[in-house]
Amino acid sequence: MKIKDIAQLAGVGISTVSRVLNNYPDVNKETRERVLKIIEDHNYTPNDSARLLKLNDNNDNIGIVVEGVYNEFFAEMERVISTFVGKTNYTLIINHDNKHDEDKIKKFKSLLSFINTKKLKGLVYLGGNYESIPQDLFNQIPCKIVFLNTILPSKSTAFNYSSVGIDNYLSGYTQMEYLLKKGHKYIGIIISDFKDSGVGKLRFKGYTDALKNYNIEFCEDYIIEGHYNYEYTYNQTLECLRNHSKITAICSSSDAMSIGALRAVHDRGLTAGKDIDLISFDGMDIVKFCIPSITTFIQPRREIALSGIELLIELIETGIDNYQIIKDVVFCKLESC
Amino acid sequence: MKIKDIAQLAGVGISTVSRVLNNYPDVNKETRERVLKIIEDHNYTPNDSARLLKLNDNNDNIGIVVEGVYNEFFAEMERVISTFVGKTNYTLIINHDNKHDEDKIKKFKSLLSFINTKKLKGLVYLGGNYESIPQDLFNQIPCKIVFLNTILPSKSTAFNYSSVGIDNYLSGYTQMEYLLKKGHKYIGIIISDFKDSGVGKLRFKGYTDALKNYNIEFCEDYIIEGHYNYEYTYNQTLECLRNHSKITAICSSSDAMSIGALRAVHDRGLTAGKDIDLISFDGMDIVKFCIPSITTFIQPRREIALSGIELLIELIETGIDNYQIIKDVVFCKLESC
DNA sequence: CTGAAAGCGCTTACAG
DNA sequence: CTGAAAGCGCTTACAG
């Protein structure tokens, strides 16, 4: 079924059918109804490619790239964005990137190709690290772009991007400081991975700098790699506690990992919040219902997601550029610390 | 930049550029390299709409509709599918449906329109209930379709679809029977919603039938609505336990809700697995790390997702139809029961 | 190995 | 209010 067939069946020209299709006002009422009836009866849907080809870049595609959608944290942000876009006239094209190990430059080039192929008007990028992308490559991005929770080149006017996120370094520092102020000296640190090059890296820098400022020696043996995985974190924490009975507190860079750690503490016969202070980061909804509930720093992730997509649409529609938003984290004192 | 510009710059005809673009072998090596260089230099990307228009239905689009992506259970299945498709030559087009309240027929029509607009070769549908869709409408689906965890019209050859899922009725029956065999008579039942028309409805039927067969009176007051939400389930469970101190066991239709319930049991000063038996459903990774860990029936959701997408691609490539797969649930005995 | 030309299914001035 | 015609940027027989 194409527009020509509908036109023939209705006994009109194809322009008229097109006008009906696009809700143009200048069509005779009866003609319109006749055409609509035939469209309905034959379940006709216009060919999108043909429309877009003609309309050229008049599509309204927004892209979203998620690095690490297996992290529930990002998954939730994606849902917020997808729901928001669903209520607009934009179409969201989703690109889940799981190639963490790939060369950054190569990765950036495939990002460019994604934008070009889909003729995106704008893009939201979740996660990742584009700290060291050459400026000329960066500025080849042919559409509006908003990075959420991404590590970016230190801002200079030469780099053209917008972003929404938190101050990861400062948050990490504050989190660790909370334990230090309570007098802890032997503190386990849960990170995703030594090779983590995303925001976790900044948080970790905050941890170690806080230790330094409080004259507590940083001990590599107290590092627990959790890979954002319950089981893995559970096993690593169990082993760390077994080998280092001095440890009196745990500083975890993500709630997902804290849940595995909490169980490890329990299985060592200890109680978090009493025998061991566990302080976490992210503020997932579940922490409040864990036993004991987990003290954490809430990243306003829904707010970041929402600001991000709203900002992107504003950038697209106004032509403005270069807008940076920093959100505050919120301390949430519960039972584990 | 269009193909014509590249051709001009390279001093060749557009057909040659097209041949280079599509990796045709019959191009002179030097010509090819010259053209590639220019394409590279100018960051040229062919216009997808134009290609697709010409190729007509030679795109390889697969669609996925997720009803209720806010349920982590489905979110994870989607990720499995998205990752799998990413490794093929198919493009995945995602459609998150949050209009639970909409008229089924209307919903089905917009499903048809999605398929037609995107010219989908195949579709994976997660969740929902299409039990009562008229046959003639159903058979208007112009592509291969695989339903995962969906309620469907009782199978007859007249309905053309494939599916992967579990036997929800039987699983629900078995789950409740486990509590009944342990001698429980006053059993709280956690469901998402009285109006739930998805698979939860079938599970619930299993629950009540089991009660009947064991001559235990069904008590509507023991029903707890949880809306797949920790907080909501927590509050409802707390209230139910407060009002009905007779209750000795809880049968929950989903792990996400069990986590809220677990905390409610704890806050009543009770211990799940000792004072109250809590048995759950789904088998999310987290249950093993809760305190106490949650006894549950594992739905092989990654397996269902994987079988589903593999099946769909097979259907597309072989032309076969009408394939139903039922997976077994696996009982996982942990501490809460 | 290469190029000119037709045509994919739409939209939109333009002329009536 | 309506229709014939041009053209969006590609691909692919066809002819050389």
DSSP A115-177: HHHTT-SEEEEES-B-TT--HHHHTT--SEEEEES-B-PPP-TTS--EEEEE-HHHHHHHHHH
Looking at mean pLDDT, say which of A135-144, B253-262, B312-321 comes out highest. Answer: B253-262
Contact A259 B50 (CB under 8 A): no
In this prediction, residue B133 carries a pLDDT of 85
In this prediction, residue A72 carries a pLDDT of 81
Contact B285 A45 (CB under 8 A): no
Contact B117 A45 (CB under 8 A): yes
| Contact present, B255 and B284 (Cβ < 8 Å) | yes
CA distance A94 to B94: 7
- Which pLDDT band holds residue A58 (cuts at 50, 70, 90)? low
Give the nucleotide at minimum CA-to-C1' distance from A57.
Answer: D8
Minimum-distance CB partner of A285 among B48, B113, B230: B230
- Which pLDDT band holds residue B58 (cuts at 50, 70, 90)? low
pLDDT in tens, A109-132: 888 888 887 788 899 999 888 888
Task: For residues B40-65, give the mean pLDDT.
Answer: 84
Report the b/e string of A215-252 with b at 16+ CB within 10 A: ebeeeeebbbbbbbbbebbbebbbebbeeeeebbbbbb
Single pTM value for the model? 0.84
In this prediction, residue B69 carries a pLDDT of 65
Contact A118 B86 (CB under 8 A): no
- Indicate whether B86 pLDDT > 70: yes
Task: For residues A7-33, give the mean pLDDT.
Answer: 92
Residue with tokens 């039987």: B170
| Contact present, A159 and A108 (Cβ < 8 Å) | no
Amino acid identity at A54: K
Q: What would the 3-class secondary structure string for B250-270 be?
A: EEECCHHHHHHHHHHHHHCCC
Give chain C positions with protein CB within 7 A. 1-5, 7-13
Domains of chain B: 3-46 (1.10.260.40), 57-164+301-327 (3.40.50.2300), 168-298 (3.40.50.2300)
In this prediction, residue A100 carries a pLDDT of 63
| Mean pLDDT taken over chain B | 91
Which of A60, A93, A286, A309 has the most B C-beta neighbours within 10 Å, making it the best mutation to test the interface with B? A286
- Which pLDDT band holds residue B125 (cuts at 50, 70, 90)? very high
Phi, then psi, of B182 in degrees rounded to 5? -80, 0
- Which pLDDT band holds residue B67 (cuts at 50, 70, 90)? confident
Q: Is the dihedral of CA B147, B148, B151, B154 positive or negative?
A: positive
CA distance A41 to A33: 12
CA distance A143 to A119: 9
In this prediction, residue A55 carries a pLDDT of 82
CA B215 distance to own-chain centroid: 35
Task: For residues A126-143, give the mean pLDDT.
Answer: 86
Task: For residues B312-335, give the mean pLDDT.
Answer: 92
Residue with more model confidence, B196 or B278: B278
CA of B11 to C1' of C4 (A): 15
Sheet strands side by side (includes A330-332): A223-225, A187-191, A249-252, A277-282, A295-298, A330-332
Minimum-distance CB partner of A263 among B94, B112, B291: B291
| Mean pLDDT taken over chain A | 91
Q: What residue of B is the nearest CA neighbor of A114?
A: B45
Strands B249-252 and B277-282: parallel
- Indicate whether B131 pLDDT > 80: yes
CB atoms within 10 A of CB A209: 16
- Indicate whether B239 pLDDT > 80: yes
In this prediction, residue A199 carries a pLDDT of 85
Phi, then psi, of B30 in degrees rounded to 5? -70, -40
Q: What residue of B is the nearest CA neighbor of A142?
A: B43
In this prediction, residue A276 carries a pLDDT of 97
- Which pLDDT band holds residue A333 (cuts at 50, 70, 90)? very high
Residue with more model confidence, B244 or B135: B244
Residue with more model confidence, A8 or A116: A8
In this prediction, residue B99 carries a pLDDT of 67
H-run or E-run covering A10 = helix A3-10
pLDDT in tens, A224-240: 999 999 999 999 999 99
Contact B291 A262 (CB under 8 A): yes
In this prediction, residue B249 carries a pLDDT of 97
Percentage of the residues of chain A whose pLDDT score is greater than 90: 61
pLDDT in tens, A262-310: 999 999 999 999 999 999 999 999 999 999 999 999 999 999 999 999 9
- Indicate whether A157 pLDDT > 80: no
- Which pLDDT band holds residue B142 (cuts at 50, 70, 90)? confident
Write the CB contacts of B153 (distance below 8 Å, at least 6 apart in sequence): B130, B131, B132, B133, B135, B138, B159
CB atoms within 10 A of CB B182: 12
pLDDT in tens, A173-223: 999 999 999 999 999 999 998 887 778 889 999 999 999 999 999 999 999
| Contact present, A335 and A292 (Cβ < 8 Å) | yes
- Indicate whether B157 pLDDT > 80: no
Q: CA-based diameter of chain B, in Å? A: 87
- Which pLDDT band holds residue B144 (cuts at 50, 70, 90)? very high
H-run or E-run covering A295 = strand A295-298
In this prediction, residue A131 carries a pLDDT of 85
Task: For residues A8-17, give the mean pLDDT.
Answer: 93
In this prediction, residue A117 carries a pLDDT of 77
- The answer to whether the beta carbon of residue B22 comes closer than 7 angstroms to any atom of strand C is no
